[in-house]
């Protein structure tokens, strides 16, 4: 069953965040999480939304509880509490 994650948060600087986000690919790949898209709010350039696909909800929850990911997000300049939606396919 496909599991999508939609993660939104504000960052200090989009370019700095994007560089750090790209550097975090090995951590995502190790968990089997694939990036489907990275977006910026049309009216707020430092508001970021990332859509990813995970093998299942348990993997997604484990990734977001990983202290390494939390530390990476802080270093990348995430300044708001991420809003995370985990969606399971109904097809």
Q: Is the pLDDT of residue 1 over 80?
A: no
Summarize pLDDT for 3-14 with one digit per residue, the tens: 999 999 999 999
Does CATH number 3.40.50.2000 belong to domain 3-88?
no
> Domains of the chain: which residue ranges?
3-88
**Residue range 13-70, pLDDT digits in tens:** 999 999 999 998 998 999 899 999 999 999 999 999 999 999 999 988 888 888 888 8
Rounded to two decimals, what is the model's pTM?
Answer: 0.89
3-state secondary structure of 30: helix
pLDDT at residue 84 above 90? yes
CB atoms within 10 A of CB 21: 20
CA distance 11 to 45: 9
Closest CA to 73 of 54, 56, 50: 50
Beta bridge mates, 85: 6
């Amino acid at each position: 069953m496909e599991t999508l994650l939609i993660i939104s948060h504000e960052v200090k600087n989009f370019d700095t965040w994007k560089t750090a986000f790209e550097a975090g690919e090995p951590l995502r790949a190790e968990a089997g999480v694939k990036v489907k898209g990275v977006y910026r709010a049309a009216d707020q350039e430092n508001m970021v939304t990332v859509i990813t696909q995970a093998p299942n909800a348990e993997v997604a929850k484990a990734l977001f509880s990983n202290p390494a990911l939390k530390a990476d997000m802080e270093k990348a300049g995430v300044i708001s509490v991420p809003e995370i939606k985990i969606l399971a396919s109904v097809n």
